[in-house]
């Protein structure tokens, strides 16, 4: 089964005719590590499905490169506000590893909403899920210290810890790399090296 079909099927039932409509709109692309898929300030005109690799969403704040979050496969991604409203993206999307994605144009994504009930259900549920994750990230930032957020990351997304450079992890947690090094060292010294 195509990996994107399997992914959609986790959200809704997908008839063969609906899958054919969707599959006809997909294009496969490979992006080497370090490639910028979307540049902050540009309009995002694609919906993507990450089959393999790792992506980082980042912004430039007063000349500093700040990590907003990471996307791991399998998952759909885009710059939601830019894609839906045709506004300049407020973030860049960069491949942290060689990445293999499936792309769909904005025009096709919106046309499918009109002709495929399964696609419509999938998109609606995906938007709700993304909003839920966004709320969790905001909640973490408001209610937990950097050390507590690091512990939660070790518990919930430990796969990131061996893949993401320290500077990007620190930026995501909202602390300096030196502070993250101290937190990690403290865990190591206490025999709690969870990385």
pLDDT tens per residue across all 195 residues of the chain: 899 999 999 999 999 999 999 999 999 999 999 999 999 999 999 999 999 999 999 999 888 899 998 999 999 999 999 999 999 999 999 999 999 999 999 999 999 999 999 999 999 999 999 888 888 878 877 888 888 888 888 888 888 888 999 899 999 888 888 888 888 888 777 765 444
Query: Which of 102, 125, 143 represents a domain boundary (last residue)?
Result: 143
Measure the CA–CA gap between 150 and 153, rounded to whole angstroms: 5
Boundaries of domain holding 159: 144-195
User: Do 116 and 189 belong together in one domain?
Assistant: no
DSSP of 116-173, one letter per residue?
-HHHHHHHHHHHHHHHHHHHHHHHHHHHS-HHHHHHHHHHH-GGGTTTS-HHHHHHHH
* Tally of domains in the chain: 2
Same domain membership, residue 128 and residue 168:
no
What is the predicted pLDDT for the residue at 154?
80
Q: Clarify whether residues 131 and 149 are in a common domain.
A: no
CA distance 85 to 70: 23
Do residues 109 and 61 both lie within one domain? yes
Q: Is the same domain home to 115 and 92?
A: yes
Is there a contact between 13 and 56 (Cβ–Cβ < 8 Å)?
no
Concatenated DSSP letters of 26-80:
-EEEEE-TT-EEE-TTSBP-EEEEEEES-EEEEEEETTEEEEEEEE-SSEEE--H
Among 143, 166, 184, give the residue marking a domain's end. 143
Q: Are 153 and 179 in a shared domain? A: yes
Domain shared by 91 and 80, yes or no = yes
Whether residue 77 is found in the same domain as residue 151:
no
If asked whether residues 12 and 57 sit together in one domain, one would say yes
Q: Are residue 155 and residue 118 in the same domain, yes or no?
A: no
pLDDT value, residue 91: 96
CATH number, position 59: 2.60.120.10
> What is residue 193's predicted lDDT score, i.e. its pLDDT?
47
pLDDT value of residue 151: 81
Other residues' Cβ atoms within 10 Å of the Cβ of residue 191: 6
Among 143, 158, 186, identify where a domain stops: 143
Q: Do both 109 and 16 map to the same domain?
A: yes
């Amino acid at each position: 089964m195509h990996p994107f079909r399997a992914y959609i099927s986790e959200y809704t039932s997908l008839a063969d005719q609906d899958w054919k409509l969707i599959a006809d709109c997909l294009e496969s692309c490979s992006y080497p590590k370090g490639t910028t898929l979307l540049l902050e300030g540009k309009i995002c005109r694609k919906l993507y499905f990450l089959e393999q690799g790792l992506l980082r969403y980042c912004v430039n704040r007063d000349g500093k490169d700040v990590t907003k979050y990471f996307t791991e496969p399998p998952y759909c991604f885009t710059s939601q506000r830019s894609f839906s409203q045709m506004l300049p993206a407020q973030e860049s999307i960069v491949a942290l590893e060689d990445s293999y994605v499936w792309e769909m144009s904005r025009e096709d994504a919106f046309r499918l909403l009109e002709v495929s009930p399964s696609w419509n259900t999938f998109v609606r549920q995906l938007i709700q899920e993304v909003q839920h994750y966004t709320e969790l990230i905001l909640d973490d930032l408001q209610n937990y210290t950097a050390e507590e957020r690091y512990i939660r990351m070790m518990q919930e997304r430990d796969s990131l810890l061996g893949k993401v450079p320290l500077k990007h992890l620190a930026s995501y947690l909202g602390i300096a790399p030196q502070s993250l090094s101290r937190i990690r060292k403290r865990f190591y010294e206490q025999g709690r090296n969870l990385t």
